[in-house]
Each structure stands twice: as C-alpha cells, then as structure tokens.
C-alpha cells in the first residue's frame, strides 16, 4: 500500500467528515457540469453531426432493425450491395452500450444515439475517479481528472468519432483494473482486467490500440516496481488472458481476416504522416479557442486551414483543438513541472507516457514516428497519428489530478513562492510564442480577445492553486472552488459549439420520425415481390451527406455508401470512391458506365444523382436510361436491363478475375446463360434437357437465403449477392462448395431436377475453417472447396 493513503487529509483512507463532504460535492459538481454540457443534445435542440450521423447512426439503425425483426445483424444487404458488419469495427455490433440500446429500442432516434455516447463518456470519467481512489489519491483529484477527461480536447471537439469516443471511455476502467491486479494479484482482479481490457480492445481503432499499449505498459511498470514475487501474479494474469481471448477471438479475428481482403490492409508511411498533428496545435491547449475553431470553418486559421495551407497537412480543425481547461495546465506546469512533483514515482509513468504520446501525435515532424510505424505492431493499419490526442488528454487529466493530490498533501513544499513565480514566467513565454505565431499568420488582431481571455484564466487558476497551497484552513473550500472553475470552464467550452453540434433538421433524411419523399420513392420502387427472382438495388451519389449511408438506415438495398473498410475487389470495381456524396462516380474498367454487364448484374434499377446522367456517363445513348422521377434536386433514372437476383446458368467459362478487373474484358459469352468462374467447378451430372427452368427466391433474410431451383440438367444457380468466404451453401440440406462467380457474386452447382438451395452466412465457422485450412496440409480432396475461394 502506498504512503499517500496515510498522508492524505480530507478524504482517502481516513474518510473524515469534511473530506467525505468534499468528495461528494466534487462528484456533484461533475454531474451538474455534465448535465449542463449535454443538455442541448439530450433535449434535441442540437445533434452530434458529421460521421456520428452520416455513418454511425445508420449503422445503429440497421443493428436495431435486425434485432427487432429477429434477424442477425452480422451481414447487411443494404451497404455496398452486401457487407460483413460483424467484421466491421464501426458497425457497433460489439459495442455493448449501443448493443444494449439496440436490444431495447427498435427505432433509435438522434437523441438516443447522442445520449448513449455522452453517458459513456461520463462513465469513463467516473472510471478515472475509481482509478484515483484505488491509487489512494483521493476523490476530489479524481474528479478533476474526470473533468479533463470528459470535457477536454477530443472529448469535446471530436464527438463525431463515435467509435473512438467509446474506446476512449474504456481506457480508465482498464487502468483501474490493472491497478487492482498490481495491488491485489487475485483471480478476481485478473478477471476484471480481462473484461475491461476486452471492452477496450474490441473498439479495434487506433485509440483502442494505443489504449491497450498504455494499459499493458502501466501494468508491467507497476508489477516490476513492487519488487514482489512475480510468480504470484501468474494466476491473475492467466485469468485476465483467458477472459480477454475468449471475448476478443471472434471480433478481432474477423476484423483481421476481413482487413486482409479489404481495400486497406495497411496505410503507407506517407499517407499516415499526412495525419500528423502540427506542433503549433499545442497552443490550442493553452489558450481557449486560440485558432477560432469553435465557430464557422471560414474563421478557423490553424493548421489545415488556407492560412496554414500545405499539401503535407491533412488535418480537420477538430483534430487541432486540444483545450482541456486552464486549471489542469496550470497544475501541470506550476505544480507538476516547476515543483518537480511529476518526477515522483506516482506520476512518473504518466509523464513518460505523455511525452511519448506527444512524439507519436506529431508524427512525421520528428524521426520517432518512423520507428513507431516500422516496429510497433498495428501502427501501420491507421492513417492518423493525431488520434493520440485522446490519450494525451487522458494523461493530462491524470497528471493534473495527481498534482492537485500532492498540493493537498504537502502544500508549502509543492507550490511555494519560487514555483509560483517560475510558473508565471513559463506562461508568459508561452503566451509570447502564441502572439508571435498569430502575428506571423496575420491573425494577431483577431486573436487578441482569445489571448486576453486566456491570460485572465491563467491568473485566476494561479490564484486558486495558491489559495489551496497557502490557506490550509480554507483548503477544502479552495479545492471545491478550483473544481467548480475547472468544471465550468470545461463544460462552457465544450457545449454545443460549431465543432460538435448541428441542428437536427440538416439530417432530416435520416430522421425516423419524418417522411422523406426520396426515401418513400426508393422503398416503393425497389420493394421486391414475394417469391420473385428480382431484388433491385439503387445507386445513389452526389446527393447530400446524409444520403451516404441513408439506405442502411431505411433498409434500401444500395451499391454505394461511406465506410473506410470494404472488400478490396468491390472497391476496385464498383465503390472506387469511398464516399457516395461525391458529385460524379469514378468508373472502373469493369464498370465503365451504365451500358455494361456489371451494373446489370448488380441489379442497379434506380440511379439517383443531381446531374443529368449524360453528364456522368457520356456513353449513354438516348433511351438507355429513362428519367423516372424528380424528387427535389434528385434525378432518378431507371435501368431496364437489370439481371434477376437469382438465375440458372447452363454452362461456365474460366477467367482470371484479377485480369478481368484490370482490363474490364468479359469473355465473349451470353452472361445470362453462362457463369464466369475463377477455378474449375466439380463435374456436372446429366439430366433431362427438355425440362423447364424455374428459379424463385422463397426466403430472403440478412444471413439466410433460400432459393428453389428446377431444371432439366445440371447447371449453376447464380445469386447476384456479394461473395464472401464466410457464406456457406447447401443443396437439399447437404453442404456444397460456394463458388465465386462473375468476379463479385455467388454460384452453386446444382444437379438436374428440383432442389432447394440455401445460403447461410456463418462468419465464426468460416473464420475457424480458414484458420484450420492454413494449418493442415494440402490434400487433393480439398480441390472442390478451393474452387470456391
């Protein structure tokens, strides 16, 4: 047990009445500040914008709709013509807060989504309070850390990145569990670490990766620092490992496997470096709204803006905004650095982590990022080292909370007159640098109000810190005043700014309580008839941002969307642009225009665009595509030549799909009667050639499709749904190889006669079968299965 537990006065191990009241008051302040900050979203006056609505909200709607209808959300037919949601880190399937919401709310609203995200962020702050109490650093310092964590930097500016916020909120609980294991070394503490560590790692984003590294390094440091028998830790660590592996093997395994066949198995060093945090961004942590980022984009003048334009900087203003409050910065510099408190054993780890994360975040601006990229596993999978700012703010909260803890313990030794004066000098130098940067950018006049406001806040924070250190009889009141100042500062700064809020009306296309005319038109036009072989899709591009993934929200089968992760072959042929919001579609050799086989195979019946189709596809001839309707600014064209979703092909030809994708040259055959395969199928059996062909889709669900086939001779049932190795096929209940057909689709060899063909999406079985096939030796009997790869 650490000495701080016995030295601490006011609260902690002694639990004096005044200390208990201080801790309770501090928690009350945190709750009030959180409610004040979040009320605009909770009330529905504003909503968290951009990716939160354009991407994550449709994913949530799709998840909720699947669960409500009794279907599996593992595969979605509405996203990129078919997408393995179970392998997508951003699908929210393995996010327990949203999975819980989807389990009970069939049609979540904007307010539901925002409330869950904001509550999860608050829970992460409370996790820091638990960590501080476990360390013996007290409740009030823990509340300060929670204020910084909940309201500071990316927790305010980057609320749109829902997945990263969820990963960020999980880190404090994993740190708390790691501290418990280091201190207690019990099986129960190991189980807790395994559970919280899995909750963090399942985010599968860069924040989760860096968070796992931080927690692992912290646990290792704590275990080595105790100088106890490390063998006694093995049972607890084993328990943590077993729980974590059991919870992570499926989501991580599926994501890794899908990433290997996706459009982004890794990010090049050059592209990753473009997302580096410019060193000037750290000035925004010192001065509130220094770069004028909280208002309109036109006013922002920091890195990534025209003022700082460079082809080497690709930063959104939200990535640059790091302000987490004035008090924590004063505690960090004045108490922590000028008094040397951050060199104490309790804080040393987080100081080193803070400095390492700074080097990582600035990316290409130091040689260190080359080492990170080359030698740390997982780093090459992500494109934006600036994401490390999440953990920077976390470490800032912990370090400033620790500084407050030390200030309350031994105030005269921690923040005397020399430290006070040195701190003011440091801040004067930093403000001078900020003024010079603004002057060099021609923005000094516009920045003077922010500099003046920041100077006032700095002086006020110094006064409060001095009051805590120099007036022992008023210490609890001074601490409470300092926390109130930090909470008001953080909540005021992060509430409903231009960085994190927009009116809900701009996402009317996604609102389940509305009735968008384009949504209604597409639903009516694409509604399949029972037992029909036709299930048509829409191609939507160039419309407003919400339409990127609106089909997923409204259960409209579409061929485009917005997602950083998609099947590589599909990206090279159909979804060459990641964003359906773009005004023109970048065609490919295999999809050179709408007068080509692939759009017909995809069943693209409706093409929705704000431009006349002749301006998009100049090879279109009069009468090829009929203008069916105009809904607002959207022109809706109909393609009369779509293939049925399921059809019977009597023959096959072999072609190299890679070559086909690159050249766009289909074999010279009738593609309505002949299927193109990339490998030889099993041999066909005979039959009655005069027997009529009949195909009907008798049941169509997300992960389970049944097709009835009747033919006089053996042939191929072609299903124009996107192929994936985790789909399995059965003919009359017997497993058969699932073939990859016509580059993107599925086919099954069926014998003559009447048969029921069933397609089932079994990702877990497919994943383990893939692992097993790599472990066992090759055998000729596997050739039939290999043909379907």
pLDDT, tens digit (0-9, with 9 covering 90-100), for 359-381: 999 999 999 999 999 999 999 98
What tokens were used for 382?
A: 């992500």
What pLDDT does residue 780 have? 40
CA distance 472 to 239: 46
What tokens were used for 556?
A: 């409209």
What pLDDT does residue 776 have? 57
pLDDT, tens digit (0-9, with 9 covering 90-100), for 437-474: 999 999 999 999 999 999 999 999 999 999 988 777 78
Does pLDDT of 358 surpass 80?
Answer: yes
Average pLDDT over residues 593-609: 96
Question: Is the model more confident about 323 or about 232?
Answer: 323
Question: Is the model more confident about 335 or about 81?
Answer: 81
Average pLDDT over residues 95-115: 97
What pLDDT does residue 7 have? 35
Identify the three-state secondary structure at position 134. helix
The lowest-confidence range among 156-165, 415-424, 760-769 is: 415-424
Buried (b) or exposed (e) across 74-85, using 16+ Cβ within 10 A? bbbbbbbbbbbb
17 CA to centre of own chain: 44
The lowest-confidence range among 59-73, 158-172, 411-425, 675-689 is: 675-689
pLDDT band per the 50, 70, 90 thresholds, residue 785: very low
Q: What percent of the chain is predicted at pLDDT more than 90?
A: 76
What pLDDT does residue 389 have? 97
pLDDT, tens digit (0-9, with 9 covering 90-100), for 479-532: 999 999 999 999 999 998 999 999 999 999 999 988 899 999 999 999 998 878
Identify the three-state secondary structure at position 635. strand
Return the residue matching tokens 């309070």. 129
Cβ-in-10-Å burial (0-12, 13-18, 19+) of 753 comes to middle
Close Cβ partners of 715 (under 8 Å, ≥ 6 residues apart): 648, 649, 650, 651, 684, 749, 750
238 CA to centre of own chain: 29
Instruction: Starting at the earlier edge strand, list the strands of the sheet with 739-741.
Output: 646-649, 715-719, 745-750, 739-741, 674-677, 651-654
Does pLDDT of 624 surpass 90?
Answer: no
What tokens were used for 749?
A: 């060899």
Does pLDDT of 782 surpass 60?
Answer: no
CA distance 571 to 565: 9
Are 536 and 527 within 8 A, CB to CB?
A: no
Average pLDDT over residues 406-412: 80
pLDDT, tens digit (0-9, with 9 covering 90-100), for 547-556: 999 999 999 9
The lowest-confidence range among 485-499, 531-545, 771-785 is: 771-785
pLDDT, tens digit (0-9, with 9 covering 90-100), for 381-391: 898 999 999 99
pLDDT, tens digit (0-9, with 9 covering 90-100), for 648-667: 999 999 999 999 999 999 99
Average pLDDT over residues 639-654: 95
Does pLDDT of 195 surpass 50?
Answer: yes
Q: What is the average pLDDT score of the chain?
A: 91
The helix or strand, by DSSP H or E, that contains position 208, with its residue range, turns out to be helix 206-225
Q: What pTM was computed for the model?
A: 0.94
CA distance 763 to 759: 12
Q: What percent of the chain is predicted at pLDDT more than 70?
A: 93
Does pLDDT of 571 surpass 90?
Answer: yes
Cα 566 to Cα 53, 79, 98, 258, 561: the distances in Å are 19, 10, 22, 8, 10
Return the residue matching tokens 């060459």. 576
pLDDT band per the 50, 70, 90 thresholds, residue 295: confident
Question: Is the model more confident about 13 or about 59?
Answer: 59
Buried (b) or exposed (e) across 432-441, using 16+ Cβ within 10 A? eebeebbeeb
What pLDDT does residue 228 have? 67
What tokens were used for 602?
A: 């995809």
Average pLDDT over residues 532-556: 93
Beta strands in 712-779 (DSSP E): 715-719, 727-731, 734-736, 739-741, 745-750, 753-761
Cα 165 to Cα 97, 102, 647: the distances in Å are 12, 18, 45
Close Cβ partners of 704 (under 8 Å, ≥ 6 residues apart): 72, 758, 759, 760, 761
Are 328 and 290 within 8 A, CB to CB?
A: no
What pLDDT does residue 687 have? 55
Residues in the chain: 789
pLDDT band per the 50, 70, 90 thresholds, residue 312: low
CA distance 147 to 255: 34
pLDDT band per the 50, 70, 90 thresholds, residue 774: low
């Amino acid at each position: 047990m650490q000495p701080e537990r016995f030295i601490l006065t006011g609260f902690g191990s002694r639990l004096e009445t005044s200390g208990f009241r201080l801790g309770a008051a501090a928690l009350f302040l945190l709750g009030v500040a959180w409610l004040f900050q979040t009320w605009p979203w909770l009330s529905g006056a504003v909503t968290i914008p951009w990716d939160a609505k354009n991407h994550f909200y449709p994913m949530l709607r799709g998840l909720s709709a699947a669960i409500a209808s009794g279907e599996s959300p593992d595969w979605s037919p509405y996203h990129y013509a078919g997408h393995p949601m179970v392998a997508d880190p951003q699908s929210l399937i393995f996010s327990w807060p949203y999975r819980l919401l989807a389990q009970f709310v069939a049609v979540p609203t904007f307010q539901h989504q925002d409330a869950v995200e904001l509550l999860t962020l608050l829970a992460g702050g409370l996790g820091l309070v638990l960590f501080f109490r476990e360390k013996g650093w007290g409740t009030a310092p823990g509340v300060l850390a929670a204020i910084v964590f909940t309201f500071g930097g990316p927790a305010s500016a980057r609320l749109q990145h829902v997945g990263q916020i969820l990963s960020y909120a999980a880190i404090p609980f994993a740190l708390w569990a790691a501290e418990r294991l280091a201190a207690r070394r019990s099986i129960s503490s190991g189980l807790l670490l395994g559970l919280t560590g899995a909750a963090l790692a399942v985010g599968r984003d860069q924040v989760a990766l860096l968070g796992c590294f931080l927690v692992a390094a912290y646990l290792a440091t704590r275990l080595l620092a105790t100088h106890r028998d490390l063998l006694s830790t093995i049972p607890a660590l084993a328990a943590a490992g077993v729980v974590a592996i059991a919870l992570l093997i499926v989501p991580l395994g599926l994501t890794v496997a899908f990433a290997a066949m996706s459009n982004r198995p890794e990010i090049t060093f050059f592209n990753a470096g473009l997302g580096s945090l410019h060193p000037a961004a750290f000035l925004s942590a010192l001065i509130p709204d220094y770069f004028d980022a909280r208002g309109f984009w036109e006013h922002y003048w920091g890195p990534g803006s025209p003022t700082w334009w460079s082809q080497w900087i690709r930063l959104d203003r939200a990535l640059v905004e790091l302000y987490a409050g004035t008090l924590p910065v004063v505690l960090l510099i004045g108490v922590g650095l000028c008094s040397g408190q951050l060199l104490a054993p309790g804080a040393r780890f987080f100081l080193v982590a803070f400095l390492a994360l700074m080097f990582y975040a600035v990316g290409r601006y130091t040689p260190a990022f080359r080492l990170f990229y080359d030698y740390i596993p997982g780093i090459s999978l992500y494109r934006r080292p600036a994401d490390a700012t999440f953990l920077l703010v976390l470490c800032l909260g912990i370090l400033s909370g620790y500084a407050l803890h030390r200030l309350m313990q031994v105030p005269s030794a921690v923040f005397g007159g020399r430290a006070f004066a040195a701190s003011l000098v440091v801040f004067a130098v930093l403000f001078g640098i900020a003024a010079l940067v603004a002057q060099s950018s021609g923005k000094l006049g516009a920045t003077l109000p922010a500099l003046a406001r920041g100077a006032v806040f700095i002086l006020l924070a110094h006064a409060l810190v001095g009051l805590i250190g120099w007036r022992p009889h008023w210490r609890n009141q001074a601490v409470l005043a300092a926390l109130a100042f930090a909470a008001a500062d953080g909540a005021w700064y992060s509430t409903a700014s231009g960085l994190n809020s927009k009116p809900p009306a701009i996402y009317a296309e996604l609102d389940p309580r509305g009735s968008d005319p384009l949504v209604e038109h597409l639903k009516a036009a694409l509604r399949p008839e029972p037992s029909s072989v036709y299930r048509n899709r829409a191609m939507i591009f160039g419309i407003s941002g919400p339409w990127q993934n609106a089909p997923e929200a409204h259960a409209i089968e579409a061929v485009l969307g917005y997602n950083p992760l998609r099947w590589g072959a599909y990206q090279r042929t159909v979804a060459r642009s990641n964003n359906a919001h773009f005004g023109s579609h970048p065609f490919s050799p295999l999809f050179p225009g709408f007068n080509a086989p692939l759009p017909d195979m995809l069943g693209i019946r409706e093409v929705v665009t704000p431009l006349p189709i002749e301006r998009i596809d100049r090879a279109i001839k009069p009468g090829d595509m009929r203008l069916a309707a105009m809904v607002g600014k959207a022109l809706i064209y109909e393609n009369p030549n779509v293939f049925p979703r399921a059809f019977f092909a009597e023959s096959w030809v072999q072609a190299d799909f890679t070559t086909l994708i690159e050249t766009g040259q289909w074999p010279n055959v009738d593609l309505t009667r002949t299927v193109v395969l990339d490998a030889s199928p099993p041999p066909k059996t005979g039959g009655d050639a005069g027997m009529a062909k009949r195909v009907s889709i008798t049941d169509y669900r997300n992960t389970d499709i049944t097709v009835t086939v009747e033919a006089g001779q053996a042939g191929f049932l072609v299903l124009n749904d996107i192929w994936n190795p985790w789909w399995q096929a059965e003919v009359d209940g017997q497993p058969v190889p699932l073939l990859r057909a016509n580059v993107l689709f599925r086919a099954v060899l069926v014998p003559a006669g009447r048969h029921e063909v069933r397609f089932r999406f079994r990702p877990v079985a497919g994943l383990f079968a893939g692992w097993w096939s790599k472990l066992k030796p090759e055998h000729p009997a596997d050739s039939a299965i290999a043909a379907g790869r």
